[in-house]
């Protein structure tokens, strides 16, 4: 399977395709390509059997699609562990390398690597590695904007992309921080968040905050 197709698959998974129908527009935006290209590719993914697609509505992953996506995520995160723990890579650099390696990794290799690394539970960005844990984490994690006002929540993970890493760092938001959503100014697209862990108030783009995943805590 081509890396390109696998990239579409992963993005649909990350945008919630396991439980929601993902509109083409979101995919087009995330990949910076034109909408027709997405439509075209959706037909391809249907023919592979990875997604179930309803025109004008969007796509949802099939069981096979979910499995494939999880495999890719598993491989990606395994490489991140290897790169950081054994090769001394910094957190910022691992993503791009893993992005390429994951597509060149056979299932056998992934399995041997998993054991070599000592069956790690999490990647350096907090993402679960075992298939069960990936499922579990994705079940309890919800996108930040879906947390109600005033509810305490813990940052579990975020979509793994260089720009986002920098953005979150600049706003002093880190993995496992406890935060409370205070208010949302729709016209400014700003989400007011109180970071209980470091005592700071931060304002982040609501749009961007879709890529932070949290779980409610009490």
Partner DNA sequence: CTATATATTTAGATATAATTAAAATAAATC
Partner DNA sequence: GATTTATTTTAATTATATCTAAATATATAG
Taking the least distance from each CB to its own copies, the nearer of 19 and 100 is 100
Which does residue 113 touch among its own copies, DNA, none (CB within 5 to 8 A, set by kind)? its own copies
Total interface residues for DNA by CB under 7 A: 24
Q: Each residue of 111-133: b (16+ CB within 10 Å) or e?
A: eebbeeeeebebbbbbbbbbeee
Which does residue 34 touch among DNA, its own copies, none (CB within 5 to 8 A, set by kind)? DNA
Min CB(24)–DNA separation in Å: 4
113 is an interface residue for its own copies by CB under 8 A: yes
58 is an interface residue for DNA by CB under 7 A: yes
Handedness of CA 171, 174, 180, 181 (dihedral sign): positive
80 is an interface residue for its own copies by CB under 8 A: no
Min CB(187)–its own copies separation in Å: 44
176 is an interface residue for its own copies by CB under 8 A: no
Give CA separation, 91 vs 20, 65, 128, 153, in Å.
Answer: 30, 29, 16, 24
- Cβ contacts of residue 199 below 8 Å, gap of 6+? none
Which does residue 88 touch among DNA, its own copies, none (CB within 5 to 8 A, set by kind)? its own copies
Taking the least distance from each CB to DNA, the nearer of 91 and 188 is 188
Give the DSSP letter string of 142-209: EEGGGSPTT-EEEEEEE---HHHHHHHHHTT--TT-EEEEEEEETTTTEEEEEETTTTEEEEEEHHHH
Min CB(115)–DNA separation in Å: 31
Nearest residue to 216 via CA among 159, 164, 161, 139: 139
- CB 173, CB 204: distance < 8 Å: yes
**One residue of 9, 12, 15, 38 binding DNA per CB under 7 A:** 38
Min CB(88)–its own copies separation in Å: 7
91 is an interface residue for its own copies by CB under 8 A: no
Taking the least distance from each CB to its own copies, the nearer of 105 and 195 is 105
Tell me the sheet residues that pair with 125: none
Nearest residue to 168 via CA among 178, 154, 183, 158: 158
**One residue of 1, 19, 64, 87 binding its own copies per CB under 8 A:** 87
Residues that bind DNA (CB under 7 A): 2-5, 23-25, 28, 33-42, 44, 53, 55-58
């Amino acid at each position: 399977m081509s890396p390109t197709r696998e990239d579409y698959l992963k993005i649909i998974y990350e945008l919630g395709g396991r439980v929601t129908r993902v509109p083409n527009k979101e995919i087009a935006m995330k990949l910076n390509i034109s909408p027709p290209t997405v439509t075209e590719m959706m037909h391809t993914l249907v023919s592979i059997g990875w997604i179930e697609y309803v025109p004008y509505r969007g796509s949802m992953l099939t069981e096979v699609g979910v499995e494939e996506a999880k495999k890719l995520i598993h491989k990606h995160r395994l490489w991140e562990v290897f790169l950081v723990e054994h090769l001394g890579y910094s957190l910022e650099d691992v993503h791009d390398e893993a992005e390429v390696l994951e597509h060149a990794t056979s299932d056998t290799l992934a399995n041997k690597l998993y054991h070599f690394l000592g069956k790690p539970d999490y990647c350096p960005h907090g993402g679960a590695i075992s298939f069960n844990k990936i499922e579990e984490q994705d079940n309890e994690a919800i996108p930040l904007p879906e947390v109600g006002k005033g509810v305490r929540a813990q940052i579990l993970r975020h979509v793994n992309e260089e720009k986002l890493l920098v953005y979150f760092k600049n706003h002093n938001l880190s993995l496992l921080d406890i935060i409370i959503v205070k208010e949302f100014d729709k016209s400014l697209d700003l989400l007011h968040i109180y970071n209980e862990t470091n005592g700071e108030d931060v304002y982040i783009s609501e749009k961007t905050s879709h890529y932070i995943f949290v779980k409610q805590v009490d």
